Structure 1
Amino acid sequence: MIKEKINVLVTGCGGDIGQSIGKILNEYNLINNLYGCDISDKNAAKFIYTNFFLGLPCKDSNYISNLEKIVEEKNIDFIIPVSEPELRFLSKENINKIGNSELIMASSVALEVGFDKLKTADFLKKENLPFPITQTVANIDSVEKFPVIMKSRTGSGSSTVSIVRDNDTFIALKKGNSDFIVQEFLEGDKGEFTCGVFRSRSGIIRSIILKRELMGSFTGYGEVIENQEISQLLQNVAEKLNLIGSINVQLRLTSKGPVVFEINPRFSSTVRFRHLFDFKDVEWSIEDVLGIPISDYRESSVGKKLYKGFNEYIE
């Protein structure tokens, strides 16, 4: 029997994604009680989540048992894990339920492929999808053609990403960075795109394409665009991954067409903007797990723009 209202816990809610999800769920009519926890209270999440509390890091031996206790005490129906360390841990341990609470996150293959940038490139190649030539740094003594991209195979964000234009820089970065990959630099003055992709358990696929400009490691500006070639590629990626849930796909539009260079198997930092553009993948994910009809998607946001802003909170 489906409950009219549900209790949801968002873990790792202190970051920008967790705060954005909190704003979405505070307005969602299926929510009874919304809880949020983070390993730190020195963030603005406590102003967004009325029921905010400190949690344990996933490396703590009591991480799961602590969540089981919270699920029972608060009668939590669903947990949305947000932080990448948590998602990596839960994926590695093949955990999709804690106590009586089901986890809302991308399906296992998407997690496995997306959290390893070499596996991402290998997956694309295997499935005959456009891919950037990618190798581990340990397998390369010298680079034949510059520039190349060097980045952590398993890291997230842009802090570990470098455009390398000469051999001296390559050798310097190679030292002490054995987990790095060397990736083809994707030329293309047509821009970089961040794309939301959702696929339901019944196979409904929805996507949104944002042409973006970065502000640090985040999308600071973006515009919703329409591109059938990109849309078809996103559909192919979702199908080949046998995706269930929501992911974020990053690509560049090159002379040979769109090429994916990263798959983030989680809700994106643009999740709130996408929600305002009617791409409501957080709500759809909850509806899908509940087994109720997925809300309609009104694809009417082409040309709309997003601008990353800031809120101030004091106490």
Structure 2
Amino acid sequence: MDTKTILVTGIGGNVGQGILRNIKNLDFSIKLIGCDISSFTAGNHLCDKTYQVPYAYEENYLTEISKIVKEQKVDMIIPSTDYEIYYLGLCKGKLDTFILASDPEISKQFLDKYLTWKLFDKHDIPFAKSWLPKEYDNSEKEVIAKPRKGRGSRGIIINPKNISRLGDDYMIQKLYNGKEVTTAVYVNKKQEIHGVCSMERTLENGTTSKIILNNSYDDKLKEIAEEIVKLKGVIGSFNIQSIIDSTSQVYPFEINCRISGTNSIRHNLGFQDVKYAVQEYLYDISPDDVNIKNPKAVAIRILMDIIYPEATSFEDLNDNSFKHFIY
């Protein structure tokens, strides 16, 4: 089988690094190219070649990506960040490679939590009730204020004292109490849901630190996912973040239109959405069946070190050819 080349973006983050590790775990001959806004990241040692690129919203981002595609003869791009999903989605048909990104019309909606609420409300899809600060009618006892385009838990305010001081870059959501569940969904080429995988999770600094698989609500979550797919334009993986209350009602509060940060954990527990995408879009074969053997498995993330014993600086440590070990 010929060697294929995949470009993974955002390799400085846990999403991109998980994607890289998952691909390296596959029984395919794949050359891995990585890119990031930094020249050196913890993902460099997983790649055969890396590049520094601008932020996705900067004017020369797409020019730099195009250069990489041509130079490395890239067969597939897997974006790992929300903005790259959108901006690379705009390039479909313009770059000589396949881009694993949902259509920009839908990914743009999911970049903005308030626009997500408006879209879902229009189509009667469950979502946490939301307002702009200037629209809020004081109808709820408890609310949460959050940036419309924020990531992780940055900028969140529980029960803000003066909502009127918040600008339109913020939104107000009803505060639901219960379990926080993150659900990965893989949509196949036929626009059918290939499978879902839900986890209860603990966050530290906005990133998942512990998970417990929990499929108790997957029937309801799959119904919601099917309604999202009906909106058209979703390709590959997306993620639903929800609160499950004491009556088992499901309240999605955010949609990530990309492979999510728990992809490396899921991969090892039987839901291998990175593999499914590579199988379908790089090799044109049917994706493997979802095979979660223990629906109550747990995982915890730890810090590890990548040590370059013969290097004296971070300069030029841009691929896996430099002597290193993980401890």
TM-score (norm: length of structure 2): 0.85
Q: Corresponding residue for 1:90?
A: 88
Q: Could you say what secondary structure the match of 1:198 adopts?
A: strand
Which whole-Å CA distance do the structure 2 matches of 1:178 and 1:234 have between them? Answer: 28
Unaligned runs of 5+ in 2: 309-327
Q: Which has the higher contact order (CA 8 A, sep 6+)?
A: 2
Residue 314 of structure 1 is matched in structure 2 by 307
- Counterpart mapping for 1:25-40 below 5 A: 25-40=23-38
Q: 2:236 aligns with which of 214, 236, 245?
A: 245
> Which of 269, 286, 298 is the aligned partner of 2:291?
298
- C-alpha deviation, 1:238, in angstroms: 4.0
Alignment partner of 1:233 is 2:239? no
Amino acid in the other structure paired with 2:95: G
* 1:182 shift after superposition: 0.7
Name structure 1 gaps, 5 residues minimum: none
Paired with 1:231 and 1:300, the residues of 2 have a C-alpha distance of 20
> Aligned pair in 2 of structure 1 residues 99, 109: CA closer, same or farther (>3 Å)?
closer
* 2:254 aligned with 1:265: no
C-alpha deviation, 1:116, in angstroms: 1.6
| Distance change in 2, residues 1:30/1:110 (3 Å) | farther
Q: Contact conserved, 1:68 with 1:98, CA < 8 A, in 2?
A: no
In structure 1, distance between residues paired with 2:24 and 2:288: 17
Q: Figure out how many residues of one structure are paired with residues of the other and give that number.
A: 303
Matched letter for residue 105 of structure 1: A
**What is residue 161 of structure 1 aligned with on the other side?**
156
Aligned residue number for residue 278 of structure 1: 270
- Identical residues among aligned pairs (%): 25
- How big is the shift at 1:281? 0.7
Please state whether the residue corresponding to 2:50 is helix, strand or coil.
strand
The farther-off stretch of 234-243 and 15-24 is 234-243
Pairing partner for 2:177 from 157, 180, 187: 187
In structure 1, what is the equivalent of residue 123 of structure 2?
Answer: 127
Flag the 1:99–1:88 CA change in 2: closer, same or farther, 3 A. Answer: closer
Tell me the CA shift for residue 181 of structure 1. 0.7
Residues 1:144 and 1:202: Cα distance change in structure 2 (over 3 Å): closer
C-alpha spacing 1:60/1:263, structure 2 compared with 1 (3 Å): closer
User: Deviations 1:129-174 (Å, cap 9, x if unpaired)?
Assistant: 322211111323x63433201111122221022211x5x34345x1
Deviates more, 1:8-17 or 1:290-299: 290-299
Task: Tell me which moved more, 268-277 or 97-106.
Answer: 97-106
Check whether the contact 2:200–2:214 (CA below 8 A) recurs between aligned residues: yes
1:146 to 1:271, Cα distance in 2 relative to 1, 3 A? same
Contact 1:199–1:246 at 8 Å: present in 2 too?
A: yes
Mapped to 2, the partners of 1:83 and 1:145 lie a distance apart of 33
- 2 CA distance for matches of 1:135 and 1:161? 15
CA contact (8 A) 1:35 1:51 kept: yes
Q: Determine the structure 1 residue equivalent to 2:318.
A: none
Question: For residues 179 and 253 of structure 1, do their structure 2 counterparts lie closer, same or farther at Cα, with a shift above 3 Å needed?
Answer: same
Distance (whole Å) between structure 2 residues aligned to residue 234 and residue 310 of structure 1: 35
Higher mean Cα deviation, 217-226 or 289-298?
Answer: 289-298
C-alpha separation in 2, matches of 1:305 and 1:110: 32
Q: Distance in 1 between matches of 2:47 and 2:2?
A: 21
**Contact persistence 2:133–2:163 (CA under 8 A):** no
What is the distance in 2 between the residues matched to 1:12 and 1:292? Answer: 27
Equivalent pair of 2:186/2:196 in contact (CA under 8 Å): yes
* Aligned counterpart, 2:199: 210
1:34 touches 1:49 (CA, 8 Å); kept in 2? Answer: yes
For 2:147, which of 152, 161, 166 is the aligned residue? Answer: 152
Q: 1:96: Cα distance to partner?
A: 2.0
Deviation string, structure 1 residues 263-291 (Cα, Å, up to 9, x no partner): 01111110110111121111111222243
Superposed CA offset, 1:165-189 (max 9, x none): x5x34345x1xx321111111123x
Q: Quick one: which of 209, 219, 231 aligns to 1:220?
A: 209
Query: How many angstroms apart in 2 are the aligned matches of 1:186 and 1:64?
Result: 40
TM-score normalized with structure 1 length:
0.88
Q: Name the residue aligned to 1:101.
A: 97
In structure 1, the partner of 2:320 is none
